[in-house]
A and B are shown apart, each in its own frame.
Chain A
Amino acid sequence: MPEITIDGQKIEFNQGMTILEAARSKGGDLVPPTMCYYSKLKDTGGYCRTCIVKVEAESVKNPRALPKPVASCRTLAQDGMVVKNQTSPEVLEARAGVVEFLLINHPLDCPVCDQAGECSLQDLGYEHGKMDTRYEFKRREFEQRDIGDKIKLHMNRCILCYRCVKTAEQITDGRVHGVCSRGDVAEISTYIEQAIDNDFSGNVIDVCPVGALTDKTFRFKNRVWFTKPVDAHRECPKCSGKVRLWYKGEDILRVTARKDQYGEVEEWICNECRFEKKKTADWVIEGPSKVDKHSVISANHYLAPEMKNDLSMLILNPDAGNNPGSSPFSKEQE
């Protein structure tokens, strides 16, 4: 079996796998972060550039290093390839730069964004970005577009990962949204106010890594870290019916698909399960969800080290700083 070395670890892979796929087959810290790649969809990746890695040697046959970092999601693994991800300062620096660029076009309105707490960009920014901003110009703004009564499009937050476009193309029966214009003003758009109207369109909410596409039925209801995820299923004629219910007390505030450790949907769900079935009686409860990846907020990452020592902060939030895993979110789980 061919073998690739990533951050010093040897990984066997199947011919035709990308560097990223090979890395994920091993798991752990050597896996590059992604914002646009989505293993459940065809032809994704190559847009966001966060998964870049350094190729120190291309293959057994051709052991030369590549001059510039490559996108691991779009570069095939080869036998004898040597790749550096976490162990390359050049990659970390370049990635921090990409994060900075992603944030340039992002409004940072996390306090009023429903995605906060489960946002890939928040996680990425914390884990791979820099603490301060060098950006002091006005951020771009788009005209508000109404794309129907179930899904809210917040174009200002969009990072143009194209996941929703691919979802619409591949999961739903007819694509009614796509990308318009180019460059700095390119935007996800729906054709002249035409609502996204078909049974699986709600999945675009789950694939969106940021708060650009959110659930209108959950809008401003609660912060995600105050809700408790529970796995459940039902007999559904359209989809697998396997979902995650987000409880606040006795109420189901929203229904989403189940996600894996990389934040990717395990099985697509239909709009009926997502938007219509919000009573416990509709579901067979399986038990609390296992959430592998702690989000920024659930791990109390928002407290800078100096703040953690600040007495006033500690009084406001007695748990802060002492126990990183002790947010209300994880407490409810455990």
Chain B
Amino acid sequence: MAETIQTIFTEPAHTQMMNRLWDLQLQNGYIRDEDITQLASLFGLSEIEVEGVVSFYHFFHRQPTGKYTIYVNNSIVAEHKGCQRIIETFERETGARLGSVDRSGMFGLFETPCIGLSDQEPSALINFYPFTQLNAMKVKDIVGRLKAGVDVADICDQPQDNIRFTPAENKTLFFRHLEAGASITKAQALSPNGVIDALKISELAGRGGAYFPTWKKWQAAKEQGASPKFVVCNADEGEPGTFKDRVLMNACPHSLIEGMIICAYTIGASMGFIYLRGEYRWLLPRLEATLADYRKMGLLGKNCNRIEGFDFDIRIQMGAGSYVCGEETALLESLEGKRGEPRTKWFFPVEKGYLQLPTVVNNVETFCAVAQILDIGTDAYLKLGIPGSPGTKLISVSGDCKLPGLYEIEWGMTVAELLELCEAENPYYIQVSGPSGECISIKEKFRRISMLDLLARKDIRCGGSFMVFNKERDLVRVLLNFAAFFKQESCGICTPCRAGNFIIQRKLERLDNGLAIEEDLKELKTWGEIMKTTSRCGLGKTATNSLILAMDKFHDYFVEKLDKSYNGQSMKFDMEAATREYETYKK
């Protein structure tokens, strides 16, 4: 059997844009003017279109980024674990200032939001190889070795999976042994309709965080007349604090691939894609090797698993640093080699997705769950979890706890139980489902984590991220970190998200500097609400969720920072704002 990807469907040339840009970025450290011209003529586009794509993704640069390009994670957990000191140490050791390259052109130093290693912070990527649990000594050592000419690949870390907990009595769903091809054979025995019924019975819902019933999505795709159809795995795990997909792809990539094959078999798709975030480039060899194995075994390619006429293969598409590409329609745009701007929802991807053809987009965890559910059978699956919310859920725990890592919990576990398991240290508030999720107080620790009851706010649906903070962690600074993140990651095409995130960040900075008055808090809230109601996609709609919730639940943190000397007339002078321009000018 073939070991390389089979040509079942020939994609239009321009879909290769991102791959070509990656090649050039890695080869030269940046995209040169002549590259833009060449790509434009290669794909029959104007130069500005190519430029538009390049400038959309923050891992593509138009200026040299050094022989060694260092990206230090600046997410909130990293901030609490001391990423600022790591940046300073890198600056001192390499001679490169943050956001630039040193004089010799050897090192480029940049910040980037969460790289999916929140359980082993502070962390960084050097030439996209991971380095975890950094400290000043380690940084010195790394830079020293790189200067001595050692290959980055030889000294990088292999991030731990840190699977801290799986349900007792060996009831793990995701990490149980799965014989290669076993779940596919079971799917075949069930027939496509049988697979959809099984998913319906198991009540599996999209694990990316939106919890749309998987069977409905697959059914809709199956019913579409247009062909070919596609299966896309959303492995653009960008929500700060989440790393469950990283662990799944590292520990059991085969179950992901089987899940995708089952989906293709069910809906009649001929090609699949794993859209892997740029930050996880180091997982690429492992995924490629697993794909090659599956091709060798005849489980991918022509007549997969000896099913006559079922031709299916999977290609991996690297993202290049853009949180909004986790939104499924933005992801599809990016997959087509364009700017990752969310589409208007005229159609669902199952109707018109990749190349305007029927496409199922699901999260890594969803595909893995499908393979395992079919393998153990729905009866066994329904015994897990609680009625109405069966099964298990992967939760990435990070922040102020002794045991950060991955927890596979049965649905229905309470926040308190999870806090105990991870040995949380003096927890005071918890950011559930990442910055776009909700901020809960320790007083709510008896809430269950389940798929039930989203609106009543009794239970919590966790998308995957669970960041624990103790009372000393300044909530305003946490929210400021989130605001900076959203501002950075907004695609900017709709007004509320483009201007809103910007102004929210400014206001929070002001509050943090002790210059805000009660009126500012009111404005923050109204602006947050406007963004929620009027933004175009999920990013803008959820960006101020936590802020609004936190302002009600933790009013103290905000009041404490207000300008107490305000007498209703003259406001304090904002020295930082006044001198900011001069400071930039000096540089």
Residues of B contacting A180 in the complex (Cβ-Cβ under 8 angstroms)? 48, 51-52, 55
In the bound complex, CA of A98 to CA of B533 (Å): 10
Residues of B contacting A47 in the complex (Cβ-Cβ under 8 angstroms)? 493-495, 536
Nearest-neighbour CB distance to chain A for B490, whole angstroms, equals 4
Nearest-neighbour CB distance to chain A for B352, whole angstroms, equals 14
Nearest-neighbour CB distance to chain B for A320, whole angstroms, equals 33
Contact flags A172-194 to B (C-beta < 8 A → 1, else 0): 00111111111111100111101
Report the contact-size class of chain B (Cβ under 8 Å from the partner). Answer: 35 or more
Contact B495 A178 (CB under 8 A): no
Q: State the A residues within 8 Å of B (CB).
A: 45-50, 52, 68-69, 71, 74, 76, 90, 94, 97-98, 100-102, 104-105, 134-135, 137-138, 140, 159-160, 162, 174-186, 189-192, 194
Give the most central of A46, A102, A159: most B CB within 10 Å: A46
In the bound complex, CA of A68 to CA of B533 (Å): 6
* B52 partner, pick from A94, A97, A178, A184, beta carbons under 8 A: A178
With A71-B536, A97-B496, A97-B534 known to touch, is A183 a contact of B52 (CB < 8 Å)?
A: no
Interface assignment of B248: CB less than 8 Å from any CB of chain A: no
Nearest-neighbour CB distance to chain B for A178, whole angstroms, equals 4
In the bound complex, CA of A183 to CA of B523 (Å): 22
Residues of B contacting A183 in the complex (Cβ-Cβ under 8 angstroms)? 487-492, 498, 501
Residues of B contacting A137 in the complex (Cβ-Cβ under 8 angstroms)? 503, 506, 577
Nearest-neighbour CB distance to chain B for A25, whole angstroms, equals 20
Contact B488 A49 (CB under 8 A): no
Nearest-neighbour CB distance to chain A for B170, whole angstroms, equals 42
* A101 partner, pick from B33, B48, B49, B500, beta carbons under 8 A: B500
**Apart from A49-B495, A97-B534, A104-B499, what are 19 other A-B pairs with CB-CB below 8 Å?**
A46-B494, A71-B344, A97-B526, A97-B529, A100-B530, A101-B496, A135-B503, A175-B46, A178-B49, A180-B48, A180-B52, A180-B55, A183-B498, A184-B487, A184-B501, A186-B492, A189-B48, A189-B51, A191-B48
Residues of B contacting A185 in the complex (Cβ-Cβ under 8 angstroms)? 492
Interface assignment of B242: CB less than 8 Å from any CB of chain A: no
Contact A105 B51 (CB under 8 A): no
Contact A176 B498 (CB under 8 A): no
Interface assignment of B502: CB less than 8 Å from any CB of chain A: yes
* B493 partner, pick from A138, A162, A177, A191, beta carbons under 8 A: A162
Residues of A contacting B492 in the complex (Cβ-Cβ under 8 angstroms)? 160, 181-186
Q: Which 8 A-B pairs have the closest CB atoms?
A: A97-B530, A186-B492, A101-B499, A183-B490, A178-B48, A183-B492, A191-B48, A180-B55
User: What are 22 A-B contacts defined by CB distance under 8 Å?
Assistant: A46-B493, A46-B536, A49-B494, A49-B496, A69-B533, A97-B529, A97-B533, A137-B577, A140-B502, A159-B495, A177-B48, A178-B51, A179-B52, A179-B339, A180-B48, A182-B490, A183-B487, A183-B501, A184-B492, A184-B502, A190-B48, A191-B46
- By beta carbon, the residue of chain B nearest A76 is B346
Residues of A contacting B48 in the complex (Cβ-Cβ under 8 angstroms)? 175-178, 180, 189-191
- By beta carbon, the residue of chain A nearest B489 is A183
In the bound complex, CA of A294 to CA of B490 (Å): 36
Interface assignment of B75: CB less than 8 Å from any CB of chain A: no
Q: State the B residues within 8 Å of A (CB).
A: 33, 46-49, 51-52, 55-56, 322, 339, 344, 346, 487-496, 498-503, 506, 523, 526-527, 529-530, 532-536, 541, 577, 581
In the bound complex, CA of A98 to CA of B532 (Å): 11
Nearest-neighbour CB distance to chain B for A255, whole angstroms, equals 27
Contact A97 B493 (CB under 8 A): no
Residues of B contacting A48 in the complex (Cβ-Cβ under 8 angstroms)? 494-495
Nearest-neighbour CB distance to chain A for B307, whole angstroms, equals 38
Contact B534 A102 (CB under 8 A): no
In the bound complex, CA of A46 to CA of B322 (Å): 21
With A46-B494, A102-B499 known to touch, is A97 a contact of B527 (CB < 8 Å)?
A: yes
Nearest-neighbour CB distance to chain A for B534, whole angstroms, equals 5
In the bound complex, CA of A192 to CA of B492 (Å): 22
Nearest-neighbour CB distance to chain B for A169, whole angstroms, equals 9
Residues of A contacting B577 in the complex (Cβ-Cβ under 8 angstroms)? 137-138
- By beta carbon, the residue of chain A nearest B580 is A138
Residues of A contacting B496 in the complex (Cβ-Cβ under 8 angstroms)? 49, 97-98, 101
- By beta carbon, the residue of chain A nearest B530 is A97
With A74-B346, A101-B495 known to touch, is A175 a contact of B536 (CB < 8 Å)?
A: no
In the bound complex, CA of A68 to CA of B532 (Å): 9
In the bound complex, CA of A185 to CA of B58 (Å): 13
Nearest-neighbour CB distance to chain B for A107, whole angstroms, equals 13
Residues of B contacting A182 in the complex (Cβ-Cβ under 8 angstroms)? 55-56, 322, 339, 490-492
In the bound complex, CA of A46 to CA of B339 (Å): 16
Residues of B contacting A138 in the complex (Cβ-Cβ under 8 angstroms)? 577, 581
* B495 partner, pick from A45, A74, A102, beta carbons under 8 A: A102
- By beta carbon, the residue of chain B nearest A35 is B495
Nearest-neighbour CB distance to chain B for A70, whole angstroms, equals 9
Residues of A contacting B506 in the complex (Cβ-Cβ under 8 angstroms)? 137
Nearest-neighbour CB distance to chain A for B305, whole angstroms, equals 41
Contact B536 A94 (CB under 8 A): no
Residues of A contacting B491 in the complex (Cβ-Cβ under 8 angstroms)? 182-183, 186
Nearest-neighbour CB distance to chain A for B319, whole angstroms, equals 14
- By beta carbon, the residue of chain A nearest B488 is A183
- By beta carbon, the residue of chain A nearest B529 is A97
- By beta carbon, the residue of chain A nearest B46 is A175
- By beta carbon, the residue of chain A nearest B322 is A182
In the bound complex, CA of A46 to CA of B540 (Å): 14
In the bound complex, CA of A79 to CA of B491 (Å): 34
In the bound complex, CA of A44 to CA of B344 (Å): 11
With A183-B490, A184-B492 known to touch, is A105 a contact of B536 (CB < 8 Å)?
A: no
* B498 partner, pick from A160, A190, A191, A194, beta carbons under 8 A: A160
Residues of A contacting B493 in the complex (Cβ-Cβ under 8 angstroms)? 46-47, 160, 162, 186
Residues of B contacting A159 in the complex (Cβ-Cβ under 8 angstroms)? 495
In the bound complex, CA of A184 to CA of B533 (Å): 19
- By beta carbon, the residue of chain B nearest A181 is B55
Contact B46 A52 (CB under 8 A): no
In the bound complex, CA of A189 to CA of B36 (Å): 15
Give the most central of A74, A97, A177: most B CB within 10 Å: A97
Nearest-neighbour CB distance to chain A for B519, whole angstroms, equals 9
Residues of B contacting A192 in the complex (Cβ-Cβ under 8 angstroms)? 33, 47
In the bound complex, CA of A138 to CA of B490 (Å): 20
Residues of B contacting A69 in the complex (Cβ-Cβ under 8 angstroms)? 533-534
Nearest-neighbour CB distance to chain A for B450, whole angstroms, equals 22
Give the most central of B51, B487, B499: most A CB within 10 Å: B499
Residues of A contacting B532 in the complex (Cβ-Cβ under 8 angstroms)? 68
Contact A184 B498 (CB under 8 A): yes
Residues of B contacting A94 in the complex (Cβ-Cβ under 8 angstroms)? 530, 533-534
In the bound complex, CA of A140 to CA of B533 (Å): 25
Contact A49 B487 (CB under 8 A): no
Nearest-neighbour CB distance to chain B for A34, whole angstroms, equals 12
Nearest-neighbour CB distance to chain A for B427, whole angstroms, equals 32
Nearest-neighbour CB distance to chain B for A66, whole angstroms, equals 11
Residues of A contacting B501 in the complex (Cβ-Cβ under 8 angstroms)? 183-184
Residues of A contacting B49 in the complex (Cβ-Cβ under 8 angstroms)? 175, 178
Nearest-neighbour CB distance to chain A for B23, whole angstroms, equals 21
Contact A98 B495 (CB under 8 A): yes
Give the most central of A68, A74, A176, A180: most B CB within 10 Å: A180
Contact B51 A49 (CB under 8 A): no
Residues of A contacting B529 in the complex (Cβ-Cβ under 8 angstroms)? 97
Give the most central of A74, A94, A179: most B CB within 10 Å: A179
Give the most central of A94, A174, A178, A189: most B CB within 10 Å: A178
Residues of B contacting A179 in the complex (Cβ-Cβ under 8 angstroms)? 52, 339
In the bound complex, CA of A181 to CA of B57 (Å): 8
With A47-B495, A98-B495, A177-B48 known to touch, is A104 a contact of B502 (CB < 8 Å)?
A: yes
